[in-house]
Structure 1
Amino acid sequence: MDPSLIPTMTLVLCFLLTFFFFFLSTAKTRRRTGSVRGSLPPGPPGLPLVGNIFQLGFNPHRSLAVFSKTYGPIMSLKLGRLNAVVISSPEAAKEALKTHDHDLSARTFNDPIRAFDHHKHSVVWILPFLRKTIVKNLLSPQKLDAVQAIRTKKVEELVSLVNKYCERGEAIDMARASFVTAFNIISNALFSVDLATYDSNSSSCEFHDTVVHLMEISGKPNAGDYFRFLRFLDLQGSRKEAALCIETLFRVFQEFIDARMVAKRFSQTEASSIDMLDSLLDLTQQNEEEFSMNDMKHLLLDLFVAGTDTNSSTMEWAMTELIRNPEKMVKAQSEIRQVIGENGAVQESDIPRLPYLQAIVKETLRLHPPAPLIPRKSESDVQIFGFLVPKHTQVFVNVWAMGRDSSVWENPMTFEPERFLVREIDVKGKDFKLIPFGSGRRMCPGISMALKTMCMVLASLLYCFDWKLQNGVVPQNMDMSEVFGLTLHKAKSLYVVPIRKPTISS
């Protein structure tokens, strides 16, 4: 055979295989849906083979919100060979995440997550045992109180950093500054060291940049997610990139684990009540069959990836909205400075006395939820609002669309923290109008830690400084575009100039 014909023959073979699997899956779907009561939800028509993939665009949360206005709060799509159902109303979300929580407790995972078999060990995707482990050993009220001093210290370091920019009259990258703060809170709670720095020339930046890159890779659409028989090809190289990132992070984790095991071997002291690595090592020794060293490294990976980006993106959006709405910022600063006084410092115990600050955080999470689409997977055939959701269907709850629904919120596109002063709305999964952290057994286990960190960071920045945009940029002209991924980032980072209030001593 002419070697030049090989690429052409390969493409033809892939095309024929795609057609074969497409018609095979269609036949199976017809047989299954024909034997179960109920019909599939309505949805937009798609193209052969690819279905609705190309209709999602670069911001699928927005595209799906538009579709929901035509096809209703529950609709179905075909994403390659993947069946998907999208939910876009609090009522439908409640039925899915509460009434059918058990049947929709699974999750699909992007192809890069398969690197190092992370999908088999991750607390995010599987293993209820690990979820109990993380809550008991890391995120219980007692453990959160134990690391309060760490959170306070890292916020003080952030304020000190901002003060240096203030003295120089320079703008600070709000996303990076808040990211490093959240990152070091977690690294100190786990290892008692800083693993990130504001200095871009520091060696610790490699660890920080690796985590950021892994989050970017994991959030990108992947051909292997839509056509499972193409996964082994890793056409976009995402799994290979993810594997390199995970390998780097695991190497760092192993260094800390090895050093700590040596220290424990020669020390008779009990595990530290602050450093969580000791607790996790004790857990592996007590129950290695259920929680191995490998499980521990995957858990540490989840903590760094999920526990940092959410905080930094929310803080960046909060500061962005406050700068665009200066009267809201003044109102928040007035509340904080009145409660704290002129020469004090914000403490976590002050947060309950700052209702407007808490309302700002809630309003930011409404307009800019960290994860715009909450993913679930049906483990059996279920019915929602009379429509069939077949087994193995990918279910997305469009939290972003629900937060901007005019039938749920008055003036939904306007930043109005005041709405949460007159309506008591919970953000911890009980009120389905606002579920930025999910709900049910798959909701984010780090809600309390995230809210404590967000409120402390925001309160401290507003207490100590006033803020303005650099180079005469007008707030109304700020770029509000987004980048879709594991979290919803601003497309252009927020750079702001801090101005120290003369009544607050340094």
Structure 2
Amino acid sequence: MREEVARELARRVSDASAGGTPVSVAREAFAAVAGVLWRSMFSEDMDAATTRQLRDVIEEAVVVAGAPNLSDYFPVIAAADVMGVRRRMDNLVGWVYGIIDVQIDRRRRRRIVCEPRKNDLLDVAFDMEGEVESEGWVMNQDTMRGMFMVILILSHCDSIFTGFARRWKQLNSSTIEWAMAELLQNPKSMIQLPEELKGLIGTKTHVAESDISQLPYLQAVIKETLRLHPTVPIAFNKAEATVEIQG
């Protein structure tokens, strides 16, 4: 699935290049990541309009989540939502829930009439529907859409860092965008990297995921990009509570 999406991405970029059309690397990379996730969850392609809106929603959600909110400092006025932060977030979450609910309802109807299984994440979730886990949660539609929303949001957000004086975020696709920007500023690398790819491809039509181990220079480019433009982990920098793991 990933290789198929990668080939589609390469084809779109190639077509745009042939026509002299500028390419937004970040948006194309986001569309590729969203496509893989959507197919793995629902076995369907995400249309271009939904992909664009999803990116806008995720970007706005990260901004809203990191925005100053008086309710955080004065809980007594939290119910009033004076700054409208909760309303904005509810609208964004509601939109994501809406596109997920369409897929869940459609699959539920198909299962009722015994259509063939897709064996994707949604089918697995339906197989677990009604089961109560040891932690007490039950698999139902609310759980499903919450789970799929988390997959969509966190898979596109490498990091969300809330500092004392600033709010900062990075999208998964930004690593690819930074890599392209750095390559454009390093002509030697721009020459060496295509040569490595050409030497590996030979008579093949594309690079497979299994070929990555044979591309040391490409790996070095990605590692250097992450070194120059690192992402900040989501985890807190200190333990929030005392926990015991496996005794």
Secondary structure of 1:195's counterpart equals coil
In 1, Cα distance between the equivalents of 2:128 and 2:236?
30
Q: 2:95 aligns with which of 228, 248, 256?
A: 248
The 5 A counterparts of 1:339-358 are 339-341=200-202, 343-358=204-219
Q: Does 1:337 align with 2:198?
A: yes
Q: Does 1:157 align with 2:157?
A: no
Q: Does 1:216 align with 2:63?
A: yes
Letter in 2 for 1:335: E
In 2, Cα distance between the equivalents of 1:359 and 1:229?
53
What residue in structure 2 maps to residue 263 of structure 1?
110
**Per-residue deviation at 1:175?**
0.7
The 5 A counterparts of 1:362-441 are 362-371=223-232, 374-375=235-236, 378-380=239-241
What RMSD, in angstroms, separates the aligned Cα atoms of the two structures? 2.7
In 2, Cα distance between the equivalents of 1:375 and 1:173?
33
What residue in structure 2 maps to residue 298 of structure 1?
146
In 1, Cα distance between the equivalents of 2:233 and 2:175?
12
> TM-score scaled to structure 2, two decimals?
0.80
> TM-score scaled to structure 1, two decimals?
0.41
Question: Structure 1 stretch 364-373 or stretch 237-246: which is displaced more?
Answer: 364-373
Structure in which a larger fraction of residues adopt strand: 1
What residue in structure 1 maps to residue 189 of structure 2?
328
Q: Does 1:307 align with 2:152?
A: no
Q: Deviations over 1:254-312 (max 9, x none)?
A: 1211111121122174x433x21101121223337524321221111111111124431
Q: 1:203 to 1:176 in 2, by over 3 A?
A: closer
Secondary structure of 1:320's counterpart equals helix
Question: Structure 1 stretch 276-285 or stretch 206-215: which is displaced more?
Answer: 206-215
Report percent identity of matched pairs. 30
| Alpha-carbon contact 1:196-1:207 (below 8 Å) kept | no
Q: 1:218 to 1:341 in 2, by over 3 A?
A: farther
**Per-residue deviation at 1:185?**
0.8
Unmatched runs of 5 consecutive residues or more in structure 1: 1-149, 382-440, 442-506
| Alpha-carbon contact 1:179-1:309 (below 8 Å) kept | no
The 5 A counterparts of 1:462-477 are none
Q: 1:374 to 1:287 in 2, by over 3 A?
A: closer
**Per-residue deviation at 1:234?**
3.1
Letter in 2 for 1:363: E
| Larger relative contact order, structure 1 or 2 (CA cutoff 8 Å, min sep 6) | 1
What residue in structure 1 maps to residue 81 of structure 2?
234
Letter in 2 for 1:315: I
Q: 1:221 to 1:334 in 2, by over 3 A?
A: farther
**Per-residue deviation at 1:245?**
0.9
Q: Does 1:173 align with 2:20?
A: no
Q: 2:118 aligns with which of 263, 272, 280?
A: 272
**Per-residue deviation at 1:157?**
1.2
Unmatched runs of 5 consecutive residues or more in structure 2: 159-171
Secondary structure of 2:57's counterpart equals helix
In 2, Cα distance between the equivalents of 1:359 and 1:227?
49
In 2, Cα distance between the equivalents of 1:227 and 1:370?
32
In 2, Cα distance between the equivalents of 1:156 and 1:295?
34
In 1, Cα distance between the equivalents of 2:238 and 2:224?
29
What residue in structure 1 maps to residue 38 of structure 2?
187
Structure in which a larger fraction of residues adopt helix: 2
**Per-residue deviation at 1:343?**
4.9
**Per-residue deviation at 1:348?**
0.4
In 2, Cα distance between the equivalents of 1:373 and 1:208?
19
Larger radius of gyration: 1
